[in-house]
Amino acid sequence: MPVTTRQWLLNGHPRGRGIEDSDFKLAETKLAEPGEGEVLLKTLYLGFDPAQKGWMENIADYVAPMAIGDVMRGSGICEIVASNHPKFAVGDLVFGSTGWTEYLVSDGKDLTKVETDLSPTSVLSILGTTGVTAWCGLFKVGRPVSGDTVLVSGAAGATGSIVGQLAKIAGCRVVGIAGGEDKCRWLVEEAGYDAAIDYKAGSVRAQIKQHCPRGVDVIFDNVGGSILNDMLGEIATGARVVICGGISRYETGSLPAGPQNYFNLVFRRGTMAGFIVLDWASEFPAIRRRLEGFVKDGRLTWQEDIQHGFENAPDTLQRLFSGKNRGKQLLKL
């Protein structure tokens, strides 16, 4: 029986502005039956990442461009509901870049089975790209050593909250920057940060000085803009500055002003490096096992913010840009 599915299609490239409702179009289509070596998947959860805006804009050159009419790209957890594939059985749970669609047919090449003792949704959060991004950015680029001061922006977000906890496990002093009292309280009371800075309350630079009196050895930046500039102003000698994301500029078309404090990299012999986590894809299974081990040992916690209803996918993506999300943003279909 051919299946009819709803899909969210790209309907506009949000360049130079925030995402608007009209950038998406809800469509219905009939899927062909799965052929030999194919499976029919039913989407159970979608995962959201600020990078999706960059994909919609086509400014990110590490992924294929998106065309108007494409199914919106995104990660998902799906159940196999029909299988002509030797590797997958009906009832198996899998995850991958499955897109904003209720059902899809796949050849299985980019699907990974959900195999964890944690909740199935963990494969989109702590054990997903989010967790491995935190790991790779911190350990491979930031290279913290015990006793370092690590400063994280976007600290209460999905990635940032894991970064801080991993840095604590590595024996560092960890300070986070986040928006609002509630998030700052959660960072210190639940995620084990040593201190939190509310960027919406007072001078960020002064608060960094207060909480990092000996300077910052590792910066993990998810935000960019003036917050990056303030962090660069307080680096210690030999600092490593990790550029993971730049959400403060994702909403605007203009390029952010250059960080005026960048010359501290010269005075303090620092380095600044960006990364794309996919470059370490072959190591993801091993990193996931380490992350799962830390969770089971009680040393790592994480938050998931689960919204409901396929029709709410565009609004759910928007939550990342207004800071409404508490931890990894997910949607249950």
List residues binding ligand NAP (CB under 6 A): 49-51, 129-130, 133, 154, 156-160, 178-180, 183, 222-223, 244-245, 247-248, 275-277, 320-321, 323, 325
CA distance 156 to 192: 11
Name the residue nearer to ligand NAP (CB basis): 99 or 176. Answer: 176
Name the residue nearer to ligand NAP (CB basis): 80 or 127. Answer: 127
Name the residue nearer to ligand NAP (CB basis): 62 or 263. Answer: 62
Name the residue nearer to ligand NAP (CB basis): 142 or 157. Answer: 157
In the complex, the smallest distance separating the C-beta of residue 139 from ligand NAP, rounded to whole angstroms, is 14
Name the residue nearer to ligand NAP (CB basis): 43 or 75. Answer: 75
CA distance 284 to 155: 22
Name the residue nearer to ligand NAP (CB basis): 114 or 244. Answer: 244
In the complex, the smallest distance separating the C-beta of residue 179 from ligand NAP, rounded to whole angstroms, is 3
Name the residue nearer to ligand NAP (CB basis): 50 or 99. Answer: 50
CA distance 328 to 303: 6
In the complex, the smallest distance separating the C-beta of residue 87 from ligand NAP, rounded to whole angstroms, is 27
In the complex, the smallest distance separating the C-beta of residue 31 from ligand NAP, rounded to whole angstroms, is 29
In the complex, the smallest distance separating the C-beta of residue 130 from ligand NAP, rounded to whole angstroms, is 6
In the complex, the smallest distance separating the C-beta of residue 49 from ligand NAP, rounded to whole angstroms, is 5
Q: HEC profile for the chain?
A: CCEEEEEEEECCCCCCCCCCHHHEEEEEEEECCCCCCCEEEEEEEEECCCHHHHHHHCCCCCCCCCCCCCECCCEEEEEEEEECCCCCCCCCEEEECCCCECEEEECCCCCEECCCCCCHHHHHCCCCHHHHHHHHHHHHHHCCCCCCEEEEECCCCHHHHHHHHHHHHCCCEEEEEECCHHHHHHHHHCCCCCEEEECCCCCHHHHHHHHCCCCEEEEEECCCHHHHHHHHCCEEEEEEEEECCCHHHCCCCCCCCCCHHHHHHHHCCCEEEECCHHHHHHHHHHHHHHHHHHHHCCCCCCCEEEEECHHHHHHHHHHHHHCCCCCEEEEEC
In the complex, the smallest distance separating the C-beta of residue 89 from ligand NAP, rounded to whole angstroms, is 31
CA distance 330 to 333: 10
In the complex, the smallest distance separating the C-beta of residue 7 from ligand NAP, rounded to whole angstroms, is 23
Name the residue nearer to ligand NAP (CB basis): 279 or 311. Answer: 279
